[in-house]
Structure 1
Amino acid sequence: MDNIYLYMIIALAILAIADLVVGVSNDAVNFLNSAIGSKAISFKTIMIVASLGVAVGAIFSSGLMEVARKGIFNPGEFMFDEIMIIFMAVMITDILLLDFFNTLGMPTSTTVSIVFELLGAAVAMSFIKIYSDSGSGVFSDVLNYINTDTATKIIIGILLSVVIAFSVGAFVQWLTRLLLSYNFEQKAKWVGALFGGIALTALTYFIFIKGIKGTNYAKSIVDVLYSGSADGILDWANNYFGTAFDSIKELTSHKDYKDALKINTDKGTVGLTLRGFLEVNVLPIIGVSLVVWSLLSYVFVTALKKNIYKLIIIVGTFALALAFAGNDLVNFIGVPIAAWQSFVDFSDPLINTAGLSADQFPMNSLAKKVTTPTFLLVFAGLIMVVTLWFSSKAKSVVKTSLDLSSQSETKERFQPNFLSRGFVRVAMAMSQMTSYILPESWQAKIEKQFEVPVISLARNKSHELPAFDMVRAAVNLMVAAMLISLATSIGIPLSTTYVTFMVAMGTSLADRAWGAESAVYRVAGVINVIGGWFFTAFSAFTAAAIVAYLLKLNLPIMFPLLLVAAFALLLRSYLVHSKKNKEAKAEDSLTKAESSSVQGVIQESATNIANVVKRGNKIYTNAIKGLARQDLALLKKNKKQVVKLSSEIDELRDNIFYFIKNLDESSVGASNFYINILGYLQDMTQSLEYISKVSHKHINNNHKKLKFSQIKELKEVDDKMELLLNDTKTAFDSRSFEKIGVILDEKAQVYNLVKEKIQKQVERTRTEESSPKNTTLYFSLLLETKDLLNATMNLLDEYYNAHDGTVTPATIKTNDAEEDPNLDNESE
């Protein structure tokens, strides 16, 4: 039986590697968001800087994995076999939960997930012990096993992170923009230097407090405060701190001094640690840093003629990456390392002197401080750096944050809800109230500072525009660093992930990135993300508790079973994510028109028409096929496909405004043609959507199957439609628009066939049909097929009448700046 624990250690090592990958994929948003969004430096430089920060942070990470060992539960209350079950349940749950959020592209806190998984698994094990050992346990006994203070702090941390980070981020960004405006590069040199001094001071202090705090170096002695007799230490402390300590133990366990002081009673010395020095000399350190960094920033701006905002972004990215790796590494490898050290203690005859079995060996040893081997930290850092470079899921999590904070138009992925609409209405009302309070002259000056400069850029290069400018990126990094540093120093449990995300959202609001066109979508996105944070805590607790219970039921069977299930789910998630990425890059996706003439739009839209016809043909055929086979899975998938097609056409319609704005006076006909084409495409998708919906509904409700004669007739119609649509696709693919006339002549054949089938069904209904549902479905399919045919023919007719092969298509003119070949590299 003991061999199973060795297998569990091996499995936990593999899970630790996988957890590092999924964890970094989620937390990368913390330090990549600002640099990538501003495009201040090239992507390669961003990744190099972040990689250095992660590597340094991992190598100098805390050697003490206290959270995993004793932060959540009291290890002495559990036996070795129970501890191993708790750790295995935590790792299986953690990797699946974080991967789930990565797949959704939603940022969440790895700290919250690991804490509540440990809590859930420990609570489940506690209940099993309470009710199996005594048989008469009470609910309150669980408090003997669990440290509830940590969970309470985490919940408070979520709430504080949301409110404080959002509010402070919004206020600082509003104030900064008011002072610097969007033309910040034209401001006086000393203004940029002063801003650089403040920002770099905040980041430096952040590196000291958050980056060094958890490392072993933070416990190094930098000054000896007292050297004398052991008996004199207490007298010295009472005089020095002005407090009456009754014992050395009381002094060393005091929350304010236990990490700041290192007491050696054998030598009779009291040393001030590096952490204590930083906490005691906060104001002098900040004051000196502000002066030094401001002067260096001024030299950087004037003598070297460099952009100070780029330097802030580089330093900020490094600082947040360093802090992430240095403090959050425990979330990924803390549990496996604690399990390994538990196994070593259990297997060591010098510790387990009585040769106790796994269910009798208490884990008091976990309460001791044990240093993590350096080679494990180096190995973990290497995995984190590799993941940072190659994880596609990390990019999707970053994209969510960037889309919600983008200054420009983006594809909104979140739908409005009553909460987002309510928040926006309240914000608008408050904005109107301030307009009544402030004098008009003040309002005019403020508006001028918030005027966004117009950048002339061809729409095919619009993706090169940054999501926001360097000022907002610098404020994001600076404010996040300040808040995390301040909270760490005074003991408020703010989450790094939550702070960085909510600061970015607050600065977006203050920068007016959430306009009337996007506010309800962006606010809905923020609400979804915040809701996901609470879901993380709840699901982590519940899932870990269930897994722990299952493992306790029968460890030899459930351990391999759950492990295989976990890796199977990970593999499935990877395949689904890869499939989505491929679909996003599919050739059949629709593109926006950019031409300024009718003939140009005809040429550009031909590919869209071919793709819609191809996908529509497949959707129609699958609907008939799903009905014939009563294949619910196929019909469900078909519904998703038509919704996707409809949303893409809606996007094209949303682009009409920008399309018309780019036309010159002589090209108004192109807009009329383009609007008509989009209208016919929408009519086609509406018919396909209805056909797909009623087909799915019929089978999903378990109604009677269509008769063989009905299926046969629908297949005849499908064959004719398929032939017609294939000819249409071929004509548009080859740009052979003269063939459209031939296709238009085929309309009558299909139209007459549909009418004939409708008449047959009327006769059947009068004589032999006994199912009202079948009759309704059959008529609905045929009538909607007629509408689909009409919309398709109208589309073809529009093209046939508008096309003129003798005219050379015109395109939108670009100015010299847009034709500059160096424009692509400007952001680098």
Structure 2
Amino acid sequence: MDTFYLIVVICLVVLAVADLVVGVSNDAVNFLNSAFGSRVAKRKTILYVAATGILIGAASSSGMMEIARKGIFNPEMFSFADIMTIFLAVMITDILLLDLFNTFGMPTSTTVSIMFELLGAAFVVAVIKIISNGDSMLLIGEYLNTNNAILIIAGIFLSVFIAFSLGLIAQFFTRLIFSFNLNKTVRKNGPIFGGIAIATIAYFLLIKGMKGSTFISIETKEWINNYTVILMGTIVLSSIFICLVLTHFFKVNVLKLVVLFGTFSLAMAFAGNDLVNFIGVPLAGLQSFQIFQASNLAASELNMGVLGAQIQTNSLILFAAGVIMILSLWFSKKAQTVTETEINLSRQNEGSERFKPNFIARWIVSGGIRFSTFSKKFISDEVANKIDARFKKSASINKNVKEKPAFDLVRASVNLMMASVLIAFATSLKLPLSTTYVSFMVAMGTSLADRAWDRDSAVYRVAGVVNVIGGWLVTAAVASTVAGVLALVIYFGGVFAVVSLMMLTVALILRSQFVHRKKEREKSAVYKKLENRERISYDDVIAESRERISLTMFKISYVIKDLIVGLEVEDKVKISKAKNEVELYRKNYEELSASFYYYLQKIESKHGAEGRYYIHALSYLNNISGSVLVMGEKVDSHVSNFHLPMQTVKMNELKDLANRLSHLFIEISDLILERKGGLTEVLQEESEVLLTHIENLELVHLSRVKNNESSAKNSMLYLSILLECRDMIVDFSGLINLFQSIRENEPPMEPIDKVKMNKSKTSLK
């Protein structure tokens, strides 16, 4: 049995490293979003500041397993075998759950996750013990401490509302003080605001960041607690004085200091306190194994009440954990994705919206508009005009979403200051609080107060917030359920279950990495390159359009063939894959359309006429995707409803048409990509011939209908496919004419990313 539990301990150590990686990917948003969103400094500088905070926080962490110490379950009621089952189930669940959220760029709470995983796994093991002992289920309360769980849940809901409300109020009054004209107001108001903000964040650092630090003596901690008011007063006055000197004598923007200091302090507090969420359980498992080896008792007989005591961790382990967290912070692509979600929802500018509106978002926005209209009745026009003047944005703010920060330093400072205040206050009262929830909701409140959510974007931003909060609510239920199921499997499955679950975990994480990389590659390389370019030339517009259109046409040529083959063999899987390909294309088109306004502003032209080619090309592609989508829906409906299969003669006609269409579309794709000017007239002739062929097929089929040679369902599907194919040919002909009309204006140049295009086409084949 020692060998089995040694394997379990090894698994826990491996899972601890993996959990550190996925945990940082999720929680990086807590301390990076304000710095990244405001672009307070270069990315590397921000990461250096955050990394320093993480390393100091990790090295000074007490290493106490907070969740176990608070008593999510009562360890004295469980044996060593039970505890190891619970710990392993918790760690596997935690990694899979956090990695899933990271893959889709959704921030969640590591504290809530680990708490409910412990609760779920402990509950299942407790039930097994009660049943095996023949006891009453009423004894479940002796195994679990549900009071903490209820307290944390209440704290979650309360903190979400309070964080959003206080963030909104604080940002509203701060913006009244600074307005958006920071060039004039920062020098005047910045030193006092900066001094108060720095002092506030320092208070957070003292209360939250260092409360469990080992390098601070007990006497020092007591002195800080006894003289907090005097200490904070001194810090406030000193901070204001320093900010005044820096502003007036060294021309330093003190708001940058606030944001960087806030980033450091939040990163330090994260590593110092939330580190236990990732390594607390594995370290407790390691200590339990050491106690088991020294006890000479059977695993099922050794009582683990000792886990109720505080668990101190070797400083070397804490330092190593800090290094792993820093490496994850620097190199994790998923950390960037999660951070981008919050920045996208709180950005000041318009642009492509990630989330689709839902009925809840529409209802909230509708209520907000009615409340705004009603509240204006109680505010005089003079006061309203003065407030509007303070919130008026300069033209440069909205000039280009790609070059400007998502929000300014004022909002970034308020984000950090309010998050620090709330977290420190809750910590001083020993109330459970999720740093993720607080940081996110403060950012949403400040963005609403800053009027970042206008009539054009509000429903999308609110939908995003609803989706994130919905994910939080699901987290607890999913974490508890999955951990419970895994505990059941491990309890009865033994070594085989442990090995199988570890292999499954590795496979799922690798798959999520593949899914994430695939999502990141959805944008074309040219479009990504143009996103960060200050100005776009006429040649850039044509090159990007050529590449995107050529690859899209190539994809559609194979989608049509897959739909027809799927119809013939009645293969729903093949049809669904083809439909998903079209849906992905439609999503990309919507993103392009949403960002076209800013894309057009970058084109080097006084009148922007060159953008006409780009928007016309997008229009053609939208029509084409619509035709393929309609075709896919009708084919899917026909097969799903078990209608009669298509007659052989009609099926052969459709397959021949699909092949001819595919050949034509591939030729057009090569024409647009490689500029084969001599083929333009030939392809136009082929298109005309194919249109005539479709018309003949329609006439032939109508005669079949009159002679009662085809069922109604088959006839409607057959004619629908012909009509959609005809529409696609017309749109593709329009694309040919479009590029023919601009050919004379194009300078000689090599095809864009031809190697990448060929690889994409090969993968499709």
Q: Is the TM-score greater than 0.5?
A: yes
Q: Which amino acid aligns with 1:320?
A: L
Asked if the contact 1:595/1:604 (under 8 Å) is kept, the reply is no
Larger Rg: 1
Match of 1:363 among 304, 308, 314: 304
Inter-CA distance 591–709: structure 2 relative to 1 (3 Å threshold): farther
Q: Which amino acid aligns with 1:410?
A: G
Shift of 1:611: 3.3
Structure 1 unmatched ranges of 5 or more: 223-273, 810-828
Asked if the contact 1:598/1:669 (under 8 Å) is kept, the reply is no
Asked if the contact 1:190/1:298 (under 8 Å) is kept, the reply is no
1:213 aligns with 2:211: yes
Inter-CA distance 757–323: structure 2 relative to 1 (3 Å threshold): same
Asked if the contact 1:597/1:669 (under 8 Å) is kept, the reply is no
CA distance in 2, matches of 1:4, 1:764: 73
CA distance in 2, matches of 1:342, 1:388: 31
CA distance in 1, matches of 2:253, 2:366: 39
Inter-CA distance 98–489: structure 2 relative to 1 (3 Å threshold): same
Map of 2:680 onto structure 1: 740
Deviations 1:424-472 (A, max 9, x none): 122222222332222222111111111112228986xx52211001111
Shift of 1:121: 0.6
Deviations 1:230-256 (A, max 9, x none): xxxxxxxxxxxxxxxxxxxxxxxxxxx
Q: Which amino acid aligns with 1:63?
A: G
Q: How does 1:564-583 map to 2 (within 5 A)?
A: 564-583=503-522
Match of 2:479 among 540, 561, 583: 540
Shift of 1:18: 0.5
Deviations 1:327-372 (A, max 9, x none): 0011000101111111111110xxx2xx321111111221223311
Q: How does 1:600-749 map to 2 (within 5 A)?
A: 605-654=545-594, 676-736=616-676, 739-749=679-689
Q: Which amino acid aligns with 1:284?
A: I
Asked if the contact 1:158/1:498 (under 8 Å) is kept, the reply is yes
Q: How does 1:413-452 map to 2 (within 5 A)?
A: 413-452=354-393
Asked if the contact 2:351/2:598 (under 8 Å) is kept, the reply is no
CA distance in 2, matches of 1:42, 1:457: 21
CA distance in 1, matches of 2:459, 2:398: 27
Asked if the contact 2:55/2:322 (under 8 Å) is kept, the reply is yes
What RMSD over aligned residues (CA atoms) do the two structures have, in Å? 2.8
Asked if the contact 1:480/1:500 (under 8 Å) is kept, the reply is yes
1:406 aligns with 2:406: no
Shift of 1:515: 0.8
Map of 1:310 onto structure 2: 256
Map of 1:250 onto structure 2: none
Shift of 1:627: 2.7
1:187 aligns with 2:128: no
CA distance in 1, matches of 2:542, 2:461: 35
Higher share in helix: 2
CA distance in 2, matches of 1:594, 1:372: 51
Asked if the contact 1:170/1:507 (under 8 Å) is kept, the reply is yes
Asked if the contact 2:524/2:548 (under 8 Å) is kept, the reply is no
Q: Which amino acid aligns with 1:153?
A: L
Q: Which amino acid aligns with 2:32?
A: L
CA distance in 1, matches of 2:745, 2:442: 57
Q: Which amino acid aligns with 1:688?
A: V
Name the SS of the counterpart of 2:522 in structure 1.
Answer: helix
Inter-CA distance 120–384: structure 2 relative to 1 (3 Å threshold): same
Q: Which amino acid aligns with 1:165?
A: A
Shift of 1:148: 1.2
Q: Which amino acid aligns with 2:725?
A: T
Name the SS of the counterpart of 2:87 in structure 1.
Answer: helix
State the TM-score, normalized to the length of structure 2: 0.92
Asked if the contact 1:117/1:541 (under 8 Å) is kept, the reply is yes
Structure 2 unmatched ranges of 5 or more: 749-765
CA distance in 2, matches of 1:435, 1:786: 55
Asked if the contact 2:209/2:273 (under 8 Å) is kept, the reply is yes
Map of 1:814 onto structure 2: none
Inter-CA distance 337–674: structure 2 relative to 1 (3 Å threshold): closer
Shift of 1:615: 2.7
Asked if the contact 1:92/1:566 (under 8 Å) is kept, the reply is yes
Shift of 1:164: 0.7
Shift of 1:301: 1.3
Inter-CA distance 70–668: structure 2 relative to 1 (3 Å threshold): closer
Shift of 1:495: 1.2
Inter-CA distance 68–450: structure 2 relative to 1 (3 Å threshold): same
Match of 1:507 among 420, 423, 446: 446
Map of 1:818 onto structure 2: none
Q: Which amino acid aligns with 2:37?
A: G
Q: Which amino acid aligns with 2:167?
A: G
Name the SS of the counterpart of 1:213 in structure 2.
Answer: coil
1:331 aligns with 2:263: no
Inter-CA distance 777–387: structure 2 relative to 1 (3 Å threshold): same
1:142 aligns with 2:83: no
Asked if the contact 2:179/2:185 (under 8 Å) is kept, the reply is no
Map of 1:521 onto structure 2: 460
Shift of 1:707: 4.0
Asked if the contact 1:160/1:494 (under 8 Å) is kept, the reply is no
Shift of 1:541: 0.8
Of 183-192 and 487-496, more deviation after overlay is shown by 183-192
CA distance in 2, matches of 1:662, 1:463: 10
State the TM-score, normalized to the length of structure 1: 0.85
Q: How does 1:279-290 map to 2 (within 5 A)?
A: 279-290=225-236
1:292 aligns with 2:201: no
1:555 aligns with 2:523: no
Deviations 1:296-354 (A, max 9, x none): 11111122221111111111000000000000011000101111111111110xxx2xx
CA distance in 1, matches of 2:692, 2:292: 83
Inter-CA distance 596–28: structure 2 relative to 1 (3 Å threshold): closer
1:776 aligns with 2:722: no
Q: Which amino acid aligns with 2:246?
A: F
**Same amino acid, percent of matched pairs:** 42
Q: Which amino acid aligns with 1:290?
A: V
Shift of 1:766: 6.0
Name the SS of the counterpart of 1:492 in structure 2.
Answer: coil
Shift of 1:20: 0.6
Shift of 1:798: 4.9
Count of matched residue positions in the alignment of Structure 1 and Structure 2: 747
Deviations 1:608-658 (A, max 9, x none): 432332232232222223334443333212212212222333444445655
Match of 1:397 among 324, 327, 338: 338
Of 74-83 and 433-442, more deviation after overlay is shown by 433-442
Name the SS of the counterpart of 2:283 in structure 1.
Answer: helix
Asked if the contact 1:596/1:663 (under 8 Å) is kept, the reply is yes
Inter-CA distance 415–362: structure 2 relative to 1 (3 Å threshold): same
Asked if the contact 2:357/2:459 (under 8 Å) is kept, the reply is yes
Asked if the contact 1:81/1:359 (under 8 Å) is kept, the reply is yes
Asked if the contact 2:538/2:604 (under 8 Å) is kept, the reply is no
CA distance in 2, matches of 1:81, 1:511: 55
Name the SS of the counterpart of 1:746 in structure 2.
Answer: helix
Asked if the contact 2:426/2:433 (under 8 Å) is kept, the reply is yes
CA distance in 2, matches of 1:478, 1:600: 43
Inter-CA distance 214–597: structure 2 relative to 1 (3 Å threshold): closer
Map of 1:259 onto structure 2: none
Inter-CA distance 370–209: structure 2 relative to 1 (3 Å threshold): same
1:382 aligns with 2:323: yes
Shift of 1:703: 4.0
